[in-house]
Amino acid sequence: MLTEILTIISDSLKPLFGGGDFDLGNIASPGNAAPSVMLTLVNLKEEPSLKNTAYSRVNNATLKTEYFNPYVFLNAYILFSSRKNAYKDAVSDIGKIIRFIHGQNQFSTNYNGTDYRVVLNMYSPSFEEMNHLWAILGGKVYPSIMYVMRVIELHNSNVVTGDGVIETITGKFSVIDPKK
């Protein structure tokens, strides 16, 4: 699912760069034939506020409890960077990306019969975080902009069927009448 949504974002941005000068790839090792403007996935992080979700449900047809692994909600940190030799052109490329995403920050795809929608929000790392990021990516700093792709919902379709649902309780009860 990650590949599909990143490809949709990449394909949406390609017309801004003449179709061939932008692609999804690793900025740390671009290669000689790589385009000058690249989209790179740099980090995945679980969304902590959505971590406590249900892990069971009742199947209405069989009245059995089904247990499943809870969904995983991810935030993906993506980096757009331009490797052009002319600094003004590289900064101009980043400006194009910012304008495009400012106008269209939601993307959606269908993967295995499930619709997914993500929202891109600009992320401004501190100077220290940027220093660490570019050190990991090879040390050469390019003009870039980072976005957080929120919230990607990933789930596993494995379901374990449990016992039946309690429908009635029989036994001897005494009713306490509060009016007496």
pLDDT at 178: 63
Query: How far apart are alpha carbons 110 and 112 in whole angstroms?
Result: 7
pTM metric for this prediction? 0.76
φ and ψ of 6, to 5 deg = -65, -35
In tens, the pLDDT along 72-126 reads 788 899 999 999 989 999 999 999 999 999 999 998 888 777 778 889 999 999 9
Q: What is the CATH number of domain 2-51+71-156?
A: 3.30.2000
Residue 59 burial class via C-beta count within 10 angstroms: exposed 0-12, middle 13-18, buried 19 and up: middle
pLDDT digits 0-9 by tens, 37-86 = 999 999 999 887 777 777 677 777 877 887 777 777 888 999 999 999 89
Q: Distance (Å, rounded) from C-alpha 23 to C-alpha 80?
A: 10
Task: Please report, for the chain, the start and end positions of each structural domain, with discontinuous segments joined by +.
Answer: 2-51+71-156
Answer for the pair 43, 123: CB distance below 8 angstroms, yes or no: no
Q: Using CA atoms, how far apart are residues 102 and 41, in angstroms rounded to an integer?
A: 19
Residues for the chain: how many in total?
Answer: 180
